[in-house]
Structure 1
Amino acid sequence: MDIKKKLAQVPSSPGIYIMKGVKEKALYVGKAINLKNRLRSYFQKSASLDARKSRMMQEVADFEYIITKNELEALALEANFIKRTKPRYNIILRDDKNYPYLKLTAGEEWPGLEVVRKIEKDGALYFGPYIPAGSMWEMLKFIRRNFPIRICKYNLEKPFRPCVQYQMGRCLAPCAESLRTASDRDRYLEIVGEVKSFIQGEKKGLLASLQKRMQKLSDELQFEEAARIRDRLKALEKAWESQRVIAPELGDADVIGLYREGQDASIFMLFIRNGMVIGQKDFFLKKVGDIENEELVAGFIEQFYSKEMLLPPRIILPLKLRLAMQQKWLSKKRGGAVELDYVKNVVEDKLLKMADDNAFYSFNRHKETRVDETLLKTKELLGLKRVPTRIGAIDVSNISGSEAVGALIMYEDGKFVKDDYRLFKIKTVEGIDDFAMIGETAGRYLKNIADDESRLPKLILIDGGKGQLESALRAMKPFDLPVEVAAIAKAKERARKGKPSGVPIRRDVDRIYLPGRRAPVYLEPFLDTTHLLQKIRDEVHRFAITYHKKLRSKRTLESPLEKIAGIGKTRRLALLKHFGSIEDIRKASVEEIAALKGMNRKVAELVKENLGHKNAGMVSEPHLQI
């Protein structure tokens, strides 16, 4: 359809719009109160777009839109679309994890404490998020040593024998029938209250309560129990010394720090709960170009808070911005008011300065010209043109050509990027031909990604030898992309027998084959470059073989009846219900099969023909070719 005609049909409703490039690829997802006006503003010749959106419009071939009830619904839908499609011109947070929380099951008769990553409306108390999780695990370890609260997830409806935690004095064992009296429950709930106070940093109240209880136990001559409380008091005072109390009067708040330089930006977040810093997280945003600060911060907030998480009542922004719609959206998510605002007092000003300073340091860490030393060594070892800061790897897996699959994985910034993993069912290769399968996998991957060079790897590592390398090079040649290629061949326990021709090849170590070089590069054991390349090779091998096994097990579980024309689910179930097994169907006569309800002689003959041999439908398992 012509763009002008399509624009004329756009309603004046709130919703989201998706700008698309060639092959229907999403370039940008946005939201609008009035879709018609917003979309028209992009396609007008006099449109005052920034440089980034002007570049985008040169690539736009089509657009789609989805109508929503209101702007808040559009905002939530936009965040989900961006997360799912990762459009090139949107701000993308590569952070799909749900953060850890401590969950105190306060609604239960005998509450417990556990670590969760999903928040539910179940009457439990949630504390967090703890980012990074190290401080949370330390806190949990402290609680387990000093507060005898249960840490198990067992159903306590029926009593059972206490575990070793009770014997160690680390649990009051509400699982035991003899320890479920009213006084036992009062004592247990007292401990639960102390745990809650400790997590929330209610120092004065908790210490006063424990000192009062210790004195009471001492007066009642329960010296052993009083001594336990004394030890807990000492441990608490020591633990609180190391806690980062910023401002008790601040309560709960998230602080967003921002630093920008050139085309990139860094955002640093502080998570403050009950006046204490319980976590921090930094985000490095590449190629944000000339995006206005308001759009950058709004986009960040929409994506970061789109996941299920506990929201604070106040989020301190790095700049004076009006984000009324985002504030409404967050308030609705929280079920209570959320204030998005700039600093209001000296304490908040100090906190924002701390977040901004950390954003600056984080930016410089990411932008250091000093590249990972192992990657520099890899560049020198293989004679590459560029430092391989982003490495893709390809492998295939099959059994004698059947259930053949290809896999690609990606390694960047010291970790595997699971979002960029790809799997391929081999379509064009018949029989055992690993070389051709490697070529198909490489070709199909580059065909899908060639339009977005920012996502291209600097180096593609092929699992195999010279043959696999040459096949990959042939498949990549039509795309003419700035990607270097190498193949990694595994060491063999025994060298191949026979008279060597030309340059003798060492086979006792892993080796790298490179285009245009006859002799391989040997990967000597114990070197960091060897470990890196082997780690990447092993990961793509694991990914390919896992998918292959999944397809193979699916095929193995198929019933031979499924492959017979005219035998649908109803007839298949009728046959198995009457005869009991495939073997008994095989033994039955045509007349017996045809006599069943829903069957006829022609179908019965087909069944006998297909199941006539004992091995019909069975899957053989020859040697696995990888």
Structure 2
Amino acid sequence: MADPSSYRPPPGSIPDLPGVYRFRDATGRVIYVGKAKSLRSRLNSYFADPFGLHQRTRQMVTTAASVDWITVGTEVEALQQEYTWIKEYDPRFNVRYRDDKSYPYLAVTLDEEFPRLQVMRGAKRKGVRYFGPYSHAWAIRETLDLLLRVFPARTCSKGVFKRAGQIGRPCLLGYIGKCSAPCVGSVTAVEHRQIVEDFVDFMAGKTDTLIRRLEREMMSASEELEFERAARLRDDLAALRRAMEKQTVVLGDGTDADVVAFAEDPLEAAVQVFHVRGGRVRGQRGWVVEKTEELTTGDLVHHFCSQVYGGEQGESDVPRELLVPAVPADVDALADWLSQHRGSRVTMRVPQRGDKKALLDTVARNAQEALTRHKLKRSADLTTRSQALEEIAEALDMDTAPLRIECYDISQIQGTDVVASMVVFEDGLARKSEYRRFIVKGATDDLSAISEVLRRRFARYLDARAETGELGDEMEIDPDRPGIDPHTGKPRRFAYPPQLVVVDGGEPQVRAAAAVLHDLGIDDIALCGLAKRLEEVWVPDDQFPVIMPRTSEGLYLLQRVRDEAHRFAITFHRQRRSKRMTASQLDGIPGLGEIRRKVLLRHFGSVKRLSAASVDEIASVQGVGKRTAEAIKAALGGDTTTTNGTEEGDGSDVSRDA
């Protein structure tokens, strides 16, 4: 492992200009490529204190043995050179948006005398109209099968087309009406081209005109008593509508755009792209990439655009518009570079409202589901789970694998609504029936909160253990199953001790948790903390953290446990905060319980509308009487005057003063 200072360029030798740089290992292989607006500023950041770097960046600079660079005139040139080098060297430490295949397009060969409809991959060529990309070739063939009865264009290869012309007999598609058989002269070249142009118009989104024309022809055939032709046109219309259902209009203005969204954690990011052409979703693609350094969402957008667009294998379909969750710092240069590839102006923006914002949210949900599936597929395998537990035991120097892991997280906003969560994983799987939530009232910060929660949890454990020891014979408690209630057969709350306690945080949180366990006299439970920033594993009384490999199954399991605790805690915190903000004014009103509060809020929609309602309007709600309605009005600051001009504050009718 190299010391970065051994190959650091001399001070002042790095130019303060835009450029592209390469890190090489001891064999001369390029392991990382990057671009910068200022080479001096960017490269100097790599030679700072290694422990302050992102884990993956630290691994890269210690693997490298040299660095070189070239300067360019503009950021656009730097983007182009960065793209070229990444494609040329395929560096191992760069974010990789890479597939094992190119994506298929539906292609129409308009440059031929008899244009052909076909599935096409690879580099695009002039004279061919492309629709897509699609996720799978079968999706194209399924669409074609529906449309060929309406647009019976040629789909056969040149060899088949030539052979049919020589023998004077069309192929099977010609006999069943899914090809107009131009090979044997059933239609002329002009008529066949018109069929193809109608197909292109339909795929481009010009569907209404075609459907109206077919409807007119169907009605005309029916009036002329040509019922067979009318029935055929009816079936054609049904086929067109089924094809349109498969390509639902999501943007009514006929937008050509790629909608890109990300879901990420500190180590990985899932990317989802919806290709919208003519307002319709033509295809969808997705990746899960490894984050090579500490990246913002804008950085991920930069890496995505600079690697996916401009290639030669089907990725060169640059749209007019890119809808992204955040714009990178070099958005202007990136848009100029994409515009050069497209040949016309490309815009990149973050939608704020309307249909485009709704579509971006949909893509973001798909990205989150993709990331979740990617992480959970590891837990589905027993061998993988066993490996993860063994790696954790080895990293933390435990005697046995931690079959029960408990993780704690704190959620608060400036000391208000402080709550904590406890999640339980047994044998590498979530045990949701064992989850617990804590309301923390005596804490002012995360450290005091984690101390209070652990003290409460393990004090309960010690009480349960003492009760088991004192009353074991009388209660006939099974010594092999001390956590099971002998009468109900159900687990006794907090009776099971974990083999490993994980806290969400670094050294301070671990120190606070260790102090609690020491005060309680518990020395047989392992403890660690997982810090979000660099995914470092901290253990008590160690000056430096444990660094687990990024590809470690044990690290993935600890991440899942930590993320689940965070999700559980923040969900509880939001529930309490929402309840406090919406219904706190209704607390403590005589005769108004939780059920009636919910009924009132559901009826009026908000506390503000409830406070504006009259006593009679409140009393008209089912289950709410006159006295309770008056109490509500008094609590919300309104007067208790009823609509008939009387006051009933004490239950009797009193004439109003003039």
Output the TM-score relative to the length of structure 1.
Answer: 0.54
Q: Tell me which residue corresponds to 1:78.
A: 82
Q: Tell me which residue corresponds to 1:507.
A: none
Q: Tell me which residue corresponds to 2:186.
A: 179
CA distance, structure 1, for counterparts of residue 22 and residue 11 of structure 2: 13
CA 1:226–1:189: 2 relative to 1, 3 Å: farther
Counterpart of 1:309 (choices 304, 316, 322) is 316
Say yes or no: does 1:166 pair with 2:170: no
Q: Tell me which residue corresponds to 2:243.
A: 239
Contact map agreement 1:262 1:289 (CA 8 A) in 2: no
- Residue by residue over 1:567-609, the C-alpha shift from the partner in whole angstroms, topping out at 9 and shown as x without a partner, is xxxxxxxxxxxxxxxxxxxxxxxxxxxxxxxxxxxxxxxxxxx
Contact map agreement 2:153 2:192 (CA 8 A) in 1: yes
Say yes or no: does 1:254 pair with 2:258: yes
Q: Tell me which residue corresponds to 1:135.
A: 139
Deviation at 1:256, TM superposition (A): 1.3
- Residue by residue over 1:27-64, the C-alpha shift from the partner in whole angstroms, topping out at 9 and shown as x without a partner, is 32111345456445544789996665455434432012
Counterpart of 2:280 (choices 269, 276, 281) is 276
Contact map agreement 2:18 2:78 (CA 8 A) in 1: yes
Q: Tell me which residue corresponds to 2:367.
A: 359
Question: Quick one: which amino acid aligns to residue 122 of structure 2?
Answer: K
Counterpart of 1:299 (choices 297, 303, 313) is 303
Q: Tell me which residue corresponds to 2:204.
A: 200
CA 1:279–1:70: 2 relative to 1, 3 Å: same
Q: Tell me which residue corresponds to 2:128.
A: 124
Deviation at 1:212, TM superposition (A): 3.6
Deviation at 1:349, TM superposition (A): 1.4
CA 1:165–1:69: 2 relative to 1, 3 Å: farther
Larger Rg over CA atoms: 2
Q: Tell me which residue corresponds to 2:269.
A: 265
Deviation at 1:331, TM superposition (A): 1.1
CA distance, structure 1, for counterparts of residue 132 and residue 145 of structure 2: 16
Contact map agreement 1:315 1:339 (CA 8 A) in 2: yes
Deviation at 1:196, TM superposition (A): 1.6
Deviation at 1:104, TM superposition (A): 1.0
Question: Quick one: which amino acid aligns to residue 129 of structure 1?
Answer: P
Question: Quick one: which amino acid aligns to residue 328 of structure 1?
Answer: D
Deviation at 1:116, TM superposition (A): 0.8
Contact map agreement 2:57 2:292 (CA 8 A) in 1: no
After the TM superposition, which of the residue ranges 151-160 and 40-49 deviates more from structure 2? 40-49
Contact map agreement 1:265 1:288 (CA 8 A) in 2: no
SS at match of 1:24: coil
CA 1:87–1:456: 2 relative to 1, 3 Å: farther
Question: Quick one: which amino acid aligns to residue 371 of structure 2?
Answer: F
CA distance, structure 1, for counterparts of residue 9 and residue 372 of structure 2: 49
Contact map agreement 1:16 1:66 (CA 8 A) in 2: yes
SS at match of 1:179: coil
Deviation at 1:136, TM superposition (A): 2.1
CA distance, structure 2, for counterparts of residue 126 and residue 259 of structure 1: 30
Residue pairs, 1:319-338, within 5 angstroms: 319-322=326-329, 323-338=331-346
Counterpart of 1:27 (choices 31, 56, 59) is 31
- Residue by residue over 1:202-250, the C-alpha shift from the partner in whole angstroms, topping out at 9 and shown as x without a partner, is 3311101223444566688876555433321122223334543222215
SS at match of 2:274: strand
CA 1:65–1:321: 2 relative to 1, 3 Å: closer
SS at match of 1:258: strand
Counterpart of 1:368 (choices 358, 363, 376) is 376
- Residue by residue over 1:82-110, the C-alpha shift from the partner in whole angstroms, topping out at 9 and shown as x without a partner, is 34544343212242532111111223332
Deviation at 1:354, TM superposition (A): 0.9
CA distance, structure 1, for counterparts of residue 55 and residue 290 of structure 2: 16
CA distance, structure 2, for counterparts of residue 337 and residue 173 of structure 1: 41
Contact map agreement 1:135 1:278 (CA 8 A) in 2: no
Contact map agreement 1:264 1:289 (CA 8 A) in 2: no
CA distance, structure 2, for counterparts of residue 320 and residue 126 of structure 1: 28
Q: Tell me which residue corresponds to 1:92.
A: 96
Deviation at 1:301, TM superposition (A): 2.0
Deviation at 1:374, TM superposition (A): 7.2
CA 1:269–1:4: 2 relative to 1, 3 Å: closer
Say yes or no: does 1:318 pair with 2:325: yes
SS at match of 1:249: coil
CA distance, structure 2, for counterparts of residue 324 and residue 260 of structure 1: 25
Counterpart of 2:233 (choices 226, 229, 233) is 229
After the TM superposition, which of the residue ranges 51-60 and 22-31 deviates more from structure 2? 51-60
Deviation at 1:315, TM superposition (A): 0.9
CA distance, structure 1, for counterparts of residue 216 and residue 193 of structure 2: 16
Contact map agreement 1:80 1:306 (CA 8 A) in 2: no
Contact map agreement 1:256 1:352 (CA 8 A) in 2: yes
Deviation at 1:127, TM superposition (A): 0.5
Q: Tell me which residue corresponds to 1:345.
A: 353
Contact map agreement 2:18 2:39 (CA 8 A) in 1: yes
CA distance, structure 1, for counterparts of residue 87 and residue 553 of structure 2: 21
CA distance, structure 2, for counterparts of residue 332 and residue 248 of structure 1: 28
CA 1:212–1:69: 2 relative to 1, 3 Å: farther
Deviation at 1:342, TM superposition (A): 0.2
CA 1:133–1:68: 2 relative to 1, 3 Å: farther
Query: Alpha carbon RMSD of aligned pairs, Å?
Result: 3.9
CA distance, structure 2, for counterparts of residue 351 and residue 39 of structure 1: 38
Question: Quick one: which amino acid aligns to residue 201 of structure 2?
Answer: S
After the TM superposition, which of the residue ranges 365-374 and 321-330 deviates more from structure 2? 365-374
Deviation at 1:372, TM superposition (A): 3.7
CA distance, structure 2, for counterparts of residue 384 and residue 364 of structure 1: 20
CA 1:238–1:37: 2 relative to 1, 3 Å: closer
CA distance, structure 2, for counterparts of residue 137 and residue 373 of structure 1: 35
Question: Quick one: which amino acid aligns to residue 279 of structure 1?
Answer: G
Question: Quick one: which amino acid aligns to residue 316 of structure 1?
Answer: L
SS at match of 1:239: helix
CA distance, structure 2, for counterparts of residue 172 and residue 312 of structure 1: 34
CA distance, structure 1, for counterparts of residue 222 and residue 114 of structure 2: 27
Output the TM-score relative to the length of structure 2.
Answer: 0.52
CA distance, structure 2, for counterparts of residue 11 and residue 157 of structure 1: 63
Deviation at 1:318, TM superposition (A): 1.1
Q: Which sections of structure 2, spanning at least 5 residues, go unmatched?
A: 393-547, 555-658
CA 1:122–1:214: 2 relative to 1, 3 Å: farther
- Residue by residue over 1:169-208, the C-alpha shift from the partner in whole angstroms, topping out at 9 and shown as x without a partner, is 22112222x435xxx3443233213322332343311101
Deviation at 1:347, TM superposition (A): 1.0
Identical-pair percentage: 32
Question: Quick one: which amino acid aligns to residue 379 of structure 2?
Answer: V
Contact map agreement 1:82 1:92 (CA 8 A) in 2: no
CA distance, structure 1, for counterparts of residue 72 and residue 304 of structure 2: 22
Contact map agreement 2:20 2:34 (CA 8 A) in 1: yes
Deviation at 1:126, TM superposition (A): 0.7
Question: Quick one: which amino acid aligns to residue 301 of structure 1?
Answer: C
Contact map agreement 1:129 1:309 (CA 8 A) in 2: no
SS at match of 2:334: helix
Contact map agreement 2:147 2:243 (CA 8 A) in 1: no
- Residue by residue over 1:488-516, the C-alpha shift from the partner in whole angstroms, topping out at 9 and shown as x without a partner, is xxxxxxxxxxxxxxxxxxxxxxxxxxxxx
Residue pairs, 1:477-556, within 5 angstroms: none
CA distance, structure 2, for counterparts of residue 222 and residue 374 of structure 1: 66
CA 1:333–1:238: 2 relative to 1, 3 Å: same
